[in-house]
Structure 1
């Protein structure tokens, strides 16, 4: 409350970027910019509660004292609930050089997605072959 007894608006959010191995970011911020499948979006403290599936990209956040901070994040989920914003992702790196962070995303996160796609395709082939084998065994009975 302010001096007149009126409630003052909260103009900050708490951002936490959570990795399987720990917390990458745990800060008060006034603005967050992230990237989902359908494009970039901005969150401000009075934004409605929100959930988004993130794609590999740059997460920008702005502390109350000014400046701009960055983190490269892999696929993940962002949840805004009240004045708390949680980002859960498998990997992420904080940095100040945008070019370096974008290169990291291309090399590490997007390349990993391609390896995962190939592994899933190989697994699907194995599963299909196993099911065909079982079907052949059933047909012989």
Structure 2
């Protein structure tokens, strides 16, 4: 590594998204606002807010990564590490926005499925309790009442 570059590593618990990528500079955001990191930056640790991290690669390209917060560490003035729960990379702001939208759609769908599963489990538990609590001859009538049916 040359003395004029940084390396960037971004990792989540399930994946290392970028591993010692050579960069020239990085912009991120913490509670105090936006800040920049360049070579020979002082050792530094901060908690990132949910935001977009932006960096310039050694070839001049700008890359992006949405993070849900996390910890940014600068060590030895040359290594930048970000640890976060979730990261969504993008080559442009447009591709990043599309990736974030897809990610949120998948999360929303998973949450809907979890709610449906929870309701099914609840209904199954109610039916099971009715089987044990109601006498055999009144079980069907009680089940109908519990499920909203009307008797004649």
The residue that corresponds to 2:86 in the other structure is: 91
Q: Residues 44-63 of structure 1 correspond to what in structure 2 (within 5 A)?
A: 44-63=38-57
1:89-116 superposed Cα distances (whole Å, 9 cap, x missing partner): 00001113324535728x84xx99xxxx
- TM-score normalized by the length of structure 2: 0.60
Q: Residues 1-141 of structure 1 correspond to what in structure 2 (within 5 A)?
A: 10-26=3-19, 27-82=21-76, 83-99=78-94, 101-102=96-97, 104=100, 108=104
Give the distance between the partners of 1:100 and 1:57, measured in 2 at CA.
Answer: 15
Give the distance between the partners of 2:25 and 2:92, measured in 1 at CA.
Answer: 19
Aligned residues: 102
- TM-score normalized by the length of structure 1: 0.64
1:53-83 superposed Cα distances (whole Å, 9 cap, x missing partner): 0011111111111110111111100000011
User: What stretches of structure 1 of length at least 5 have no aligned partner?
Assistant: 1-8, 113-141
User: What stretches of structure 2 of length at least 5 have no aligned partner?
Assistant: 109-152
Query: Which has the higher Rg, Structure 1 or Structure 2?
Result: 2
